[in-house]
Chains A and B, each alone.
Chain A
């Protein structure tokens, strides 16, 4: 009976931990996309410095969770997004409005897809 209870408890713990990870990733990527969308609006309005501040802030938030991200996600996905942040910041520094808008939208999409892939729904399970 002890072994049965231990196995059920471990399974429940794994389910709980993985669901927490999904929620955590959802709020984390949500925060980042919010910051990047705000930066995009500021970029379109010509407030480049403000946009740069928000983008850097988003990158720092991203990098602050580096260990967590590497433990839970595929490293290729993380590297792709890290490169995306660098690209967006470089285009912001050059004031390239069109290319910045495209790169920012791409980065936001990548973050949304990262979150989407971890969501518990039938589409992902099957």
Chain B
């Protein structure tokens, strides 16, 4: 069952356009899948014969489930069909390609079934047949790692963790692009609470920001869990000098360029109880804290164009759109700032999906230049690490960047002298003083705090 959407968990088979025994050419529509009010024709990746239909029309199957079998030759139909009813469970993991995660090139030579096949290559070439040349990974459905011709595909950190924790990678389901096993998958399999993802800033579901808000001990609890893993990141071994990679060099240039901008910083403390409550309501719908924070910043920026502006030789440039970029650290060094275009006018669900897609493609280095270079304002969030305050360096071409720290329970005294415990986070705005003055920064932060403290539900649309 292919995924027609990053939010699709199951699909209904409306109609089989081919019958068992019928010849199927590559690119033929084999069946029609419906999810919500959208239909999609599903096409075959491989020519052959439809040997068996495992899920008849009218039936519903979870994304990734094998729903039919295509074999290479007429002779194999009977064998495959005979096996089919008993085999679907065993073969299910084979059906990994999804509409959104299928490789653009022809699938690696029939990801062959794990089940005993009478003759080589017989069984599966699953009918998942994603419509061709699909962009990768919109939060791809978990896929079996070992499907890739039996080779285990895992990130270096995942492999290292696996050996440390004694987790067997074979058979583990990977959540990364094309089923790649990520460090988090290994931690999950090892029974470890999932610690902060290495690709950190804003990339994860930002749970920790809220977890630490609802439970002050959470940030501390993460540390011992993570201690089984290598503690700090390094790109070289003691005694070595390691050349900067391309991305690190690009970051270096930006950071040095920032020294020509006269910056100042303004901080604010924001109470997040209402934001945390709203986040709890919408996170089941795929909304992340990063998306919420970006949306809040975008909405307030639209009301404070001076903070969205930047300094150029010609004067103060006011961009036509509000595009909030969010800094994401890369596993192999450097960082990138994927851009949520039109942040102020895009609904939160679309923002969250766009963000998941951007991060997935950032990880696999498939972002287009306009997807990371068109930010008009940058957000840097270290809240998920429990950081209580920091400041950020201004990226060139923009006027301001906001550093967001963790929300933590704090004893708060009100004006009337009453004392209560509220979740509070510190934010710190770095501004280029040629364009943005202290009063602009203060007004922006005051509005941002008011939005987050009083009307976070308005961020939904």
User: Do chains A and B interact in one complex?
Assistant: no
Which residues does B use to contact A, with CB under 8 Å? none
